[in-house]
Amino acid sequence: MRDNLVIAGDSFDDVQLCIDVMEFCAVPPGRDGLIVWGEPWDPYGWEVTEGFVKNWGWVIRGCHEIFQSTNYWRARRGEEPLFFNIP
């Protein structure tokens, strides 16, 4: 994620990204963020929401651990996978 953000430079609204990641403000519907189910340093404890992928998919491009983790947490709730064909 960090590398994707560094490459993007100033081309995105970093305040809105922070709001969507942290959800510390009243987040409008469809702009959901990230859920951390464990230690923040462990990518397998992270889950991205559909709204986050819709708005910030480029941020997690290449982050296969987060894709796998998201599908794991969704499966635990009986939800369909969000990402397919993950190596």
pLDDT in tens, 23-34: 655 555 555 778
What phi, psi does 73 have (nearest 5°)? -65, -35
Q: Is residue 25 part of a domain?
A: no
Q: Is residue 58 part of a domain?
A: yes
Q: What is the pLDDT of residue 85?
A: 64
Residue with the bigger pLDDT between 19 and 75: it is 75
Query: Which ranges of 1-87 would DSSP assign to H, the alpha helix?
Result: 2-8, 14-22, 50-56, 64-76
pTM score of the predicted model: 0.79
pLDDT tens-digit series, residues 37-71 = 889 889 889 999 888 888 899 999 999 999 999 99
Q: Is the pLDDT of residue 35 over 70?
A: yes
For 72, the domain range is 2-20+30-76
Question: Per-residue confidence at 10, pLDDT binned at 50, 70, 90?
Answer: very high
Local structure of residue 26 (DSSP, 8 states): -
Q: Is residue 64 part of a domain?
A: yes
Tokens 């987040």 -> residue = 27
Rounded Cα distance, 76 and 66, in Å? 15
Tokens for 21, please give them: 């990641």
Q: Is residue 82 part of a domain?
A: no
User: How many other CB atoms are there within 10 angstroms of residue 76's CB atom?
Assistant: 10
Structural domains counted in the chain: 1
Rounded Cα distance, 46 and 37, in Å? 6
